Structure 1
């Protein structure tokens, strides 16, 4: 591993000469094909022995990006001396206190990635549908002590089925659902049972999980008695969805799903997930990670020092993301605490699932 590196701006309109000398045109074309600016793109370069440090004489380089508010960095590609580039990114990440480096498998071989200390990720279950493309392989290197079981990655096939997907992935990881049964029919069927049209609110989701897996332990945390996820609606459009949420609470009482009216703390999330007793479906806003305030369900399934590990069933291909960004995603406790307070009243919604 090398620690000698320099960081340069990402500017597809004016690639540094040092990069052009070591990168194939097709690679640079892919790097500049999308607007990566929401995810802080930059070039980590390794100067060669004759370089003067101003962008000339590069031995290696990597394009790196990351979602805001997270604790990882992603290597999109490495060119030139690939092991040197990977080592430079690992040093870059470590010096910034990040916990993970991931690597998209566009051009790197599995042998080269493993030789650089990276482990192969499980292939995603879905490679079709909007935004579900990306590299066929990915790799991860943890920079902290970790004991995180890796689920398979499944990308939601619509813009509104995140809750259903997180529940299905949670149950598959727990052994209550076969991975091969996760498909669009299963996703939409569970969404139909949980939806408040089109979003899934916490109580309705908890009830749907209980109906789908009646032997599972299900508990809902929601620190308000008022309807949620309706701030953008008014009049009759808000009113009939509020009625449905009241019906969900009645269903919860009837089916024995407890609804705790206090705010679930991040310490409790860490404790539940860290002991592997329960998985946590957590409602978050995408403002920090994606730049738009949309409620979204993620699965909290692991913990590492300083961060909670998520499965996010959605990725933003328009900003250069792929499934590699959304899989085994570490989010610092403080960031997750802030992004999981939603709406004008800043409420937190969660569904905890455990063995029966």
Structure 2
């Protein structure tokens, strides 16, 4: 990249005159319709000032997203790519509000598959594009299409369903709200899905799929926010899940899944459901399940079944999301007790079939 650029801090409504002249009113209206401040909004301007782009990104990640490029679009995108490379990022995404497929392709971006739950409404872009920097995307297998959880508590169910559909064990057309809630009902510790219960539900739903649970404590988890009487009966259910894991032959490893082990698993085209805290990425410490399905140098590629529309996020942010190794390691202790939990789902066993169904913590 030879382009230079200028970075201007973004403040809604306080746009430079040049931007007001080049950006259509509906574009500026959309930019200012939400509070993007949690995701570090900034304007990157091409050297001659004729092209500019609004960028945002989740904290603790290794990408930047072009919300729109205005003016001289090719020059604006070239400036963004220069900026992203100098920042050491691995990926640039581009929301398809105003971007054409032709402009995206000319700049080296590939189209993202539309989500299974694509709303076809004004609140979501009709397309999305991605460009990996420095050839880092070469090792990323064909990703799953995006599926957004339909409740605040079914993230575990969604990650398991998407993992199994991506592995060819579950049909994509079966991923819907009934499937999501059915698997959640089997896995839930009310309303969260803790690691052992989720692993047991996966084994019951897909008995041919190897499942392994990693949990660095033998006590009940994700209950620290509850009153004592509310903890007691959920702890009973968690002990029952451990007993069921023993009966079904689901190994429960009394340790965390190391980052190296996680990268090895996804390198074998296995899937890891990882329990994380949303404190770094979203600013609130809520336990949450994400699906790890790929790895690139320095980052793990995840799909997050939830995104924060109030901060201007869309499915383009949450899908094919690279998280640096150190960031992922730092966000994997979840809840006030800092539990580290993961569910590894291997490839289909010889002679096995697949089942059908729907489980999760936001």
Residue 24 (str. 1) matches residue 16 (str. 2): no
- TM-score (normalised: structure 2): 0.93
Residue equivalent to 1:3: 3
Out of 77, 86, 92, the residue aligned to residue 86 of structure 1 is: 77
**CA positional deviation for 1:136:** 1.3
How big is the shift at 1:264? 1.1
Matched, 1:258 2:251: yes
Q: Deviations over 1:105-149 (max 9, x none)?
A: 0001101100010000001111349x9941010000000322212
Runs of 4+ in 1 over 6 A off after TM superposition: none
**Is the contact between residue 213 and residue 344 of structure 2 (CA under 8 Å) also seen in structure 1?**
yes
Aligned pair 1:306/2:298, yes or no? yes
Please give the alpha-carbon distance, in whole angstroms, between the structure 2 residues aligned to 1:133 and 1:283: 29
- TM-score of the pair, normalised by structure 1: 0.95
Q: Deviations over 1:240-274 (max 9, x none)?
A: 11111011101101111110001211111011111
Contact residue 44 and residue 79 of structure 2 kept, 8 A: yes
Please tell me whether the aligned partners of residues 2 and 84 of structure 1 are also in contact (alpha carbons under 8 angstroms).
no
Contact 1:132 1:155 in 2 (8 A): no
Secondary structure of the residue aligned to 1:21 is: helix
Which position in structure 1 is the counterpart of 2:284? 292
Change in CA separation of 1:39 and 1:232 when aligned onto 2, cut-off 3 Å: same
Matched, 1:60 2:51: yes
2 CA distance for matches of 1:97 and 1:68? 14
Q: Which residue of 1 aligns with 2:192?
A: 199
Offset, 1:46? 1.1
Contact 1:207 1:248 in 2 (8 A): yes
Runs (5+) with no aligned partner, structure 2: 350-362
Q: After superposing the two structures, state which structure 1 stretch, 139-148 or 198-207, moved more.
A: 139-148
Aligned to 1:230: 223
Task: Assess, with a 3 A threshold, how the Cα gap between structure 1 residues 324 and 132 changes in structure 2: closer, same or farther.
Answer: farther
Q: Is 2:307 aligned against 1:315? A: yes
Q: Deviations over 1:207-242 (max 9, x none)?
A: 000011000000000010111111101221111111
Q: Matches of 1:291 and 1:218 in 2, distance apart?
A: 31
Whole-Å separation in 2 of the counterparts to 1:150 and 1:112? 23
For the residues of structure 2 that align with 1:34 and 1:263, how far apart are their CA atoms?
38
Distance 1:286 1:170, change over 3 A: same
User: Residues of 2 paired with 1:198 and 1:2: CA distance?
Assistant: 52
Partner of 2:358: none
Instruction: Please name the residue that 1:53 is paired with.
Output: none
Residues 192/348 of structure 1: CA separation in 2 closer, same or farther (3 Å cut): same
**Number of paired residues?**
345
Tell me if the contact between 1:282 and 1:300 (Cα under 8 Å) persists in the aligned partners.
Answer: yes
Aligned-residue offset at 1:2: 5.2
The answer to whether the Cα contact below 8 Å between 2:285 and 2:335 also exists between their aligned partners in 1 is no
**8 Å contact kept, 1:132–1:322:** no
Q: SS in structure 2 opposite 1:351? A: strand
Q: Please give the root-mean-square deviation of Cα atoms over the aligned residues, in Å.
A: 1.4
Paired with 2:88 and 2:122, the residues of 1 have a C-alpha distance of: 30
- Aligned residue in 1 for 2:43: 43
Check whether the contact 1:126–1:132 (CA below 8 A) recurs between aligned residues: no
